[in-house]
Amino acid sequence: MSTHRSPTSATTSGGTVLERLSPAGRLIGLDAARGIALFAMMVTHIFALSDPAGFPTWAAVFAGRASALFAVLAGCSLVLSTRSRMVASGRLRAAVPSVLIRAGAIILIGLCLGSVSSLLAVILVNYGVMFAIALLFLRLRARALFVIAVVWMVLSPVISMLIRSEFGLEPVYSPMSWFDLATPLTMLHDLVLTGYYPILQWLSYILLGMAVAKVDIGKHLMSLFMTGLGLFFVGQGVSWILLNVAGGGAALVRVSELYGTDLSAALFTGSYGVTPTTSWWWLAIAGPHSGTPFDLLSTAGTALLTIVVCQSLALLLGRRTWVLAPLTAPGSMPLSVYSAHVVLLEITRPWIEANPMLGGEAMSPQTVEFGLHALVFIVFALVWKSAIGAHGPLEAGIAAVIRSASPVPEPVSADSGTAAETGTATTRISASRPPDTD
């Protein structure tokens, strides 16, 4: 079973619109999963996660899970975008310039967005730093990466709790803008330990995505499905046992009353990155954005399940994967769509708040706002991909800089049989991976 469409079905640059929307040699399932992650994040940015009484709304289902999926897919992209360089040279150092340029560009874009956004915690600076760190793991095999990722999910929250308790570090929730450079120490511990997306814990998602990209997804769908299901049930199940059987829930009720912590929000709608340090029982919860072992494990599980479902659907559709274009087109340019969404939200939110009756009785103002964002980015991505290029404007710009600064090296020369094997591997990989601009 193949994980991609045959390259022989593709035409040249003058191909049809449908072939541009579903290009040969691209992992369409991953693009669809990215599209889901993008629109699910928009849901959490636009709709309320709790009602006036404090109970979670339907949108809370996506809280934590959407951004975790996005992070796992970012890890996939890191491997896929460097594969041709690694194969051509056989050396890690051939991929280092491209990764560092991409990481630096993402950080710069993130700092710019953080400077204009008053509504969101922009994740791009964290991604850029994690991409640079992930270089240390790029040569590892899938099995090693998976083991490290799971161990990281279990241990990193404990290390975070120890450090934050010892040094009295409280969450600052800096927007990660140019202005934060004036306080580098605060910015550093916010990035690593106390922010919305603490790198100490979130690097585990990147490592998991790297492991996924190192395997033939089409041949390991059932293994990935069972792994995702196992991670989800371990994360949710062990957390439930600790809270409801082992006495953790009662302990947290007492602690939250003593310190004025919103326990319901921590369990169901979000902790904004990390838990309080007032009790070790906080590490037993699996609430969104709590950064606990069980939050990381369960959201990693839902990310893997989503990837499996999307890739399975792409395989079933075969050459008809163009029907997924409303998801795959935005998903093929996630940096451009995410960045534009951050900016557009600054425009639509004041307009929605100034017109509370917008949508009438049929739709809420939030539904109108989400519909506007979804429509804009689906249409933009479809038009751009059909008429201009395979990748979004930001992705294409970064790729152009990388090509200029660090061209792909020539394949390593080899003797007779080895050369033939290298050529075969290169052909196989280049056919099954997204282009380097992914």
More confident: 435 or 358:
358
CA distance 70 to 194: 20
Query: Looking at residues 392-413, what average pLDDT do you find?
Result: 84
CA distance 382 to 385: 5
Task: Give per-residue pLDDT as tens, 77-104.
Answer: 999 988 888 777 677 888 899 999 999 9
Residues in the chain: 438
**56 backbone dihedrals φ, ψ, rounded to 5°:** -65, 145
CA distance 83 to 77: 10
Q: Distance of CA 20 to CAs 305, 330, 374, 407, Å?
A: 27, 13, 21, 25
Q: What is the mean pLDDT of the chain?
A: 87
Q: Check residue 411 and give its pLDDT.
A: 62
Whether the CB-CB separation of 277 and 161 falls below 8 Å is answered with yes
- Number of domains the chain contains: 1
Query: Looking at residues 142-166, what average pLDDT do you find?
Result: 97
137 belongs to a structural domain:
yes
Q: Is the pLDDT of residue 378 over 50?
A: yes
Query: Looking at residues 109-115, what average pLDDT do you find?
Result: 96
Q: Is the pLDDT of residue 400 over 80?
A: yes
Q: What is the 8-class DSSP label of residue 389?
A: -
Whether the CB-CB separation of 56 and 71 falls below 8 Å is answered with no
Q: Is the pLDDT of residue 37 over 90?
A: yes
Query: Looking at residues 404-422, what average pLDDT do you find?
Result: 54
80 belongs to a structural domain:
yes
Which residue type is seen at 419? A
- Between CA 59 and CA 63, with CA 62 as vertex, the angle to 5 degrees is 90
Q: Which of 11-25, 49-63, 65-79, 262-276 has the lowest mean pLDDT?
A: 11-25
More confident: 209 or 425:
209
438 belongs to a structural domain:
no
244 belongs to a structural domain:
no
Give the Cβ contact number of residue 373 at 10 Å.
22
How does residue 21 score in pLDDT terms, banded at 50, 70 and 90? confident
How does residue 2 score in pLDDT terms, banded at 50, 70 and 90? very low
How does residue 397 score in pLDDT terms, banded at 50, 70 and 90? very high
Q: Check residue 433 and give its pLDDT.
A: 38
317 belongs to a structural domain:
yes
287 belongs to a structural domain:
no
More confident: 261 or 8:
261
Domain extent at residue 126: 7-11+27-230+300-402
Whether the CB-CB separation of 283 and 161 falls below 8 Å is answered with yes
74 belongs to a structural domain:
yes
Whether the CB-CB separation of 64 and 270 falls below 8 Å is answered with yes
* Paired tokens of 272: 């904004």
Q: Check residue 422 and give its pLDDT.
A: 33
337 belongs to a structural domain:
yes
End-to-end alpha carbon distance in the chain: 23
Q: Is the pLDDT of residue 435 over 60?
A: no
Query: Looking at residues 118-139, what average pLDDT do you find?
Result: 94
More confident: 308 or 436:
308
How does residue 412 score in pLDDT terms, banded at 50, 70 and 90? low
Contacts of 178 (CB under 8 A, 6+ apart): 111, 112, 114, 115
Query: Looking at residues 31-56, what average pLDDT do you find?
Result: 94
